[in-house]
Amino acid sequence: MKKIIMIMGIIILSFCLILLTKLPILGLDKPEFCGGCHVMEGQVETYLHSVHRLGANCGDCHIPHSLVPGAMYKAYTGTKDVIGVILDQDPYRIRASETGKEIIQENCLRCHGKFLGEIGDTRKDGGKYCFDCHRSTPHLK
């Protein structure tokens, strides 16, 4: 019985820690946090010179907006990136996975959907992602 309680406690604690990543007060979606790793300097610098800095943070574009999936995705990608830096992959580059690309596309449509409604979601027809043409918004190539 003690073992079951201990396992349940670890699961609940892990779940709570994952959900904490979504608390805005912690600032874990802000460029100051994301740019704390030297491999992100270029992305943060270009973001800070873009119009997106006025109304969006890193998580607004790169993390799902639903609480549990968003927190779990953030914990997963953050851990993966930290491990990549620690293992000193040469050169370590931050790249969007296929899942990440879909999340970014969904978030483009979430904010700009009214405008894009006139154009339509080209991905539905096997077309391009928004960032295929707008890659330097908010990051320069």
Annotate the chain with DSSP letters as a single string.
Answer: -HHHHHHHHHHHHHHHHHHHTT-GGGTTTSHHHHTTSGGGHHHHHHHHTSGGGGT--HHHHHS-SSHHHHHHHHHHHHHHHHHHHHTT-TT------HHHHHHHHHHHHHHHHHHHHHH--GGGGT---HHHH-TTTTS--
C-beta of residue 26 within 8 angstroms of C-beta of residue 57: no
pLDDT score of 100: 92
pLDDT score of 20: 63
What does the alpha-carbon distance between residue 13 and residue 44 come to, in Å, rounded to a whole number? 31
Backbone angles phi, psi at 22, to 5 degrees: -95, 0
pLDDT score of 40: 79
Q: Give average pLDDT by consecutive 10-residue segment, the chain, 141 residues.
A: 79 67 66 77 86 88 86 83 74 78 90 72 70 78 57
pLDDT score of 25: 63
